[in-house]
Structure 1
């Protein structure tokens, strides 16, 4: 099975328009063979300043926050519907640039669709509360958006993880400025197209690829109000250092070291299917993967031996050659 991307050059989405990058462009490679898939625009600090400025304008004018929550919710559901309508193209883009098999990319797209549907419905449920007082007082709380949410995203789920942060922020009325990974930036274009198709105000969302230097400019920008980062702990430390002077509320996810315990009376036949899923889903690139197996010493040799057999039984090859919906090895 040989498939190619639908275009050879992919621009950034900045302040409501698709445009070239101030830092030029670079080749995105197919991880299955090292060949160049397409060229991607690369943003610079000027592009980021423009994206943040427009996001600030949208927030301060109320173009997004003053909408009825039901209207924001409807637009979020339209984003999910756009991904559903372009299901095959989105999943093939994910597989070609990130490398996962088509059946895994299919699940990623469906999870993203579900995220936009869920938070589209939740947009109308973001309510404050009243607090009992005496006859002369009426106390209440009102939830307000942060403002401009800067989001620095990883490559291992180039649509789902981006959808997870984007949908939540938009449901609450935040503007979003999102930097994608240089390893898998193209898939995010489908999110940009979905946002444009759904009718969000121009400038409410910018999605672009940028290098670390430009990413640092985003994290330290004085006009952002909130920061989301998903990636390695080393990169997280650098991002948080850049953001420190602004005292930003932030959400940082750097993965885990999820342990699995195999006791003396454990069933090896029950363990192996879980190990296959826990170790090899997305080539082990997910936050709750089975990174460690702690085995009772009496079962150690057996578990190691059967685990080696499992690893040697797996088929390795270009993800695009998997049999899509009918291929279910896990």
Structure 2
């Protein structure tokens, strides 16, 4: 699907009409679309033009209770299906989703502001995760324990039961594949709350499971954190929690999990470094690190928001980097071919990013490019923001320590390997990192010394199905995207059967 050049407002109004012609965004409970009992609804908006897309059912504890009840009723039959049977069911569902790729990509682009081409790629990735998890679930085996000739002891892997999941707003469809895919493949049933900022795609993929997934196996409750998210995390019948979002909310989810002694997976953001050593291919490093921050307008938990560059390479690297920032990564209509940056997803995020630019200037960092709205009246109504680069940043500045979640880059110099590692690790996060070097020894040492769940060498965002993703320190607990994720959604049961002497 592609869109022609034209007026942003006209393009988006036409797209909204097309995307919502037959769309109702209610809850999905027990295999049916369900409105809120109190009739309350809220609007989700297109950030490119700041106009409503569609109104959404606003859930409360009542809808969470109904969804959990439906999930509990469906659990026994779903957990008793074999991995091969779940594989067949989920692959049929995924095939249906692929048939609706253009529809889902357009909904995702309108809801989040990301370029349509990127939304298509991320939708395909979500489908890949659904298929990946059911594939590896068939190899998720128990084991026999050699306890002696008079006993037969073995370990079963069993699903926890009802998985409560909360999605972030920046990658709603892709993380649906990460979370719901793993839980369902392992035999759990799901109650999932999308972000109120981007609820459409998760709800729509659930609707497209009609007649394929058994009723109650997948349930969606839309709404806000206090009204729907908190009742979900606090619900006594939830057996496993998974959350992606901010550290403060993650702590609340972890506290709720502790109250009920429930396992929890948390992915809570980052302040990831990209370390450019003096021997690196600087042109490649500039291109890679620019993509690492400006993709999705900087709204990625693993964005490389701090570039640590050796002092001997600083000037050349900065010139190359600014060329990338000003030529390759520029705001445009997300529905147009070739657009690399859409708007920020909502108004509060725009205000947050703007405030951090002011903070950076007040702290004495050198704003070398960007810092505000892009030129052009076509951008006036949306939440667009220029690629922004600060140089001469100290690692103790707030713009280097705090997660901004926007297209704002901090460039920091170092003079030695030891200093680079100290700066890289000198934040409370530890989600991801990049290293640019042609020296294998530096690459391996840096990968070992940097405290992060993922370290990419001479690339960034180099993952996919089968590669574990998660963080150290305040970036979270647990791993997603890989075979070991099934361990996050199953528990071991040891069975020990006493054997008597055989009698004939």
TM-score of Structure 1 vs Structure 2, range by shorter chain: over 0.9
Matched, 1:33 2:46: no
Matched, 1:207 2:228: no
Structure with more contact order per residue of length (Cα contacts < 8 Å, sep ≥ 6): 1
Q: CA deviation at 1:323?
A: 4.9
For residues 114 and 253 of structure 2, what CA distance do their matches in structure 1 show? 28
Q: CA RMSD in A?
A: 1.8
Larger helix proportion, structure 1 or 2? 1
1:182-233: CA deviation from partner (whole Å, max 9, x where unpaired): 11001112220232242x2211110121211121111010011000000111
For residues 322 and 30 of structure 1, what CA distance do their matches in structure 2 show? 18
Equivalent position of 2:69 in the other structure: 53
For residues 31 and 24 of structure 2, what CA distance do their matches in structure 1 show? 18
For residues 175 and 148 of structure 1, what CA distance do their matches in structure 2 show? 5
Q: Which residues in structure 2 correspond to 1:72-151 (within 5 Å)? A: 72-151=86-165
Equivalent position of 1:327 in the other structure: none
2:32 pairs, out of 1, 6, 17, with: 17
For residues 254 and 148 of structure 2, what CA distance do their matches in structure 1 show? 44
Name the SS of the counterpart of 2:313 in structure 1.
helix
For residues 46 and 63 of structure 2, what CA distance do their matches in structure 1 show? 27
Q: Retained in 2: the 8 A contact 1:79–1:116?
A: no
Matched, 1:268 2:274: no
Q: Retained in 2: the 8 A contact 1:73–1:122?
A: no
Q: CA deviation at 1:96?
A: 0.8
Q: TM-score, normalised by structure 2?
A: 0.61
For residues 208 and 221 of structure 1, what CA distance do their matches in structure 2 show? 14
Q: Retained in 2: the 8 A contact 1:180–1:207?
A: yes
Q: Which residues in structure 2 correspond to 1:1-330 (within 5 Å)? A: 1=3, 2=11, 3-4=15-16, 5-7=19-21, 9-22=24-37, 24-59=40-75, 62-198=76-212, 200-213=213-226, 214-313=228-327, 314-323=329-338
Q: 1:83 to 1:120 in 2, by over 3 A?
A: same
For residues 255 and 78 of structure 1, what CA distance do their matches in structure 2 show? 33
For residues 94 and 270 of structure 2, what CA distance do their matches in structure 1 show? 29
1:142-167: CA deviation from partner (whole Å, max 9, x where unpaired): 01110100001101111110111111
Q: CA deviation at 1:302?
A: 3.4
For residues 204 and 51 of structure 1, what CA distance do their matches in structure 2 show? 10
Q: CA deviation at 1:31?
A: 1.1
For residues 121 and 81 of structure 1, what CA distance do their matches in structure 2 show? 15
In the alignment, structure 2 segments of 5+ residues that lack a partner are: 4-10, 340-459, 461-504
Name the SS of the counterpart of 1:321 in structure 2.
coil
The alignment covers a number of residue pairs equal to 322
Q: Retained in 2: the 8 A contact 1:75–1:120?
A: no
Name the SS of the counterpart of 1:79 in structure 2.
helix
Q: Retained in 1: the 8 A contact 2:67–2:221?
A: no
> Which is worse superposed, 44-53 or 242-251?
242-251
1:229-279: CA deviation from partner (whole Å, max 9, x where unpaired): 001111111222233310110100012222111122333211122023211
For residues 235 and 337 of structure 2, what CA distance do their matches in structure 1 show? 43
Q: Retained in 2: the 8 A contact 1:87–1:109?
A: yes
Name the SS of the counterpart of 1:291 in structure 2.
strand
Q: Retained in 1: the 8 A contact 2:275–2:307?
A: yes
Q: CA deviation at 1:63?
A: 1.6
1:18-65: CA deviation from partner (whole Å, max 9, x where unpaired): 011245111111011111111111111100001011111222xx2201
Q: Retained in 1: the 8 A contact 2:26–2:222?
A: no
